[in-house]
Amino acid sequence: MRNFKIIIQYEGTRYQGWQRQDTTGNTIQGKLEAILAKMTGLDFVQVDGSGRTDAGVHAIGQVANFKLDTNMPAAAVMDYINQYLPEDIGVTAIYEMPERFHSRLNAKGKTYRYRIWNTSIPCVFERRYVYELPETLDLDAMRTAAACLVGTHDFKAFTSNKKSKKSTVRTIDAVLIDRKGSEVVITYSGDGFLYHMVRILTGTLIEAGLGQRDPASVKTLLEKGATRDLSGALVPAKGLCLVEVRY
């Protein structure tokens, strides 16, 4: 069996997220697995992603791997997949990897980007990829709040998953906040992110930027006993994009 690693881009607008679901084939993982099953003539070919992205979230650097018993060159496998993928999903690179490589288990870090359209002027052509927020944001206040997030902390207050028994401790290496014309871009890099974590972090930083939250108070959300109801709103999925997975 040969182990293939692929880099995938997708516009998540019309999909029910990355993970396959029994009730719909309208997921990124489901689309890829269906095409590989067709290519090989097998009933099922498992594709493992570096992690799940929610419904409506985009990616330019999602990573996945799958194993095939085939003599096809890697480039031919990639060409076949792209031939049958819809136009809003594409494989941009393929590599043959050692047998033990796993896109999720071997991942060392990820980078996400959240885009905010910070003006009352409509964002006609980019509306599927940005959160439109007309109120003026204080970026200095947001940066002060963001500085509290850097480091290794318990991010339990920043996830919607209340039932998971897994650790909610994560390390954030950097949170960069930049304005590019009418757009505010927040870039998060860390060793991993919890369910809805980036979107809740962004909602919390926005509250600081709108003067609705003391930036320094973000520290209390990382303390033992902090709960989801104390952190910010869950911002829309469409502004979020998985940029890179590091190994």
Please tell me the predicted confidence (pLDDT) of residue 162: 78
**Confidence band (pLDDT; 50, 70, 90) for 225?**
confident
Please tell me the predicted confidence (pLDDT) of residue 27: 98
Please tell me the predicted confidence (pLDDT) of residue 107: 98
| Mean per-residue pLDDT, 131-158 | 98
Summarised one tens digit per residue, pLDDT across range 58-78 is 999 999 999 999 999 999 999
Please tell me the predicted confidence (pLDDT) of residue 146: 98
Active site residues: 54
Please tell me the predicted confidence (pLDDT) of residue 95: 98
| Mean per-residue pLDDT, 103-126 | 98
Please tell me the predicted confidence (pLDDT) of residue 164: 74
Q: How far apart are alpha carbons 230 and 149 in whole angstroms? A: 15
Please tell me the predicted confidence (pLDDT) of residue 87: 97
Please tell me the predicted confidence (pLDDT) of residue 161: 87
User: What tokens appear for 4 in the block?
Assistant: 């293939």
Taken in order of first residue, the domains within the chain and their CATH numbers are: 2-97 (3.30.70.580), 109-246 (3.30.70.660)
More confident residue, 224 or 102: 102
Contact indicator for 65, 4 with CB cutoff of 8 Å: yes
Is residue 63 packed enough to be buried (19+ CB in 10 Å), middle (13-18) or exposed (0-12)? buried
Q: How far apart are alpha carbons 232 and 226 in whole angstroms? A: 12
Summarised one tens digit per residue, pLDDT across range 146-163 is 999 999 999 999 999 877
Please tell me the predicted confidence (pLDDT) of residue 211: 98
Please tell me the predicted confidence (pLDDT) of residue 5: 98
Please tell me the predicted confidence (pLDDT) of residue 163: 75
Q: Taking the model in full, what pTM does it have?
A: 0.96
Summarised one tens digit per residue, pLDDT across range 226-237 is 999 999 999 999
Average pLDDT, the chain: 97
| Mean per-residue pLDDT, 195-207 | 98
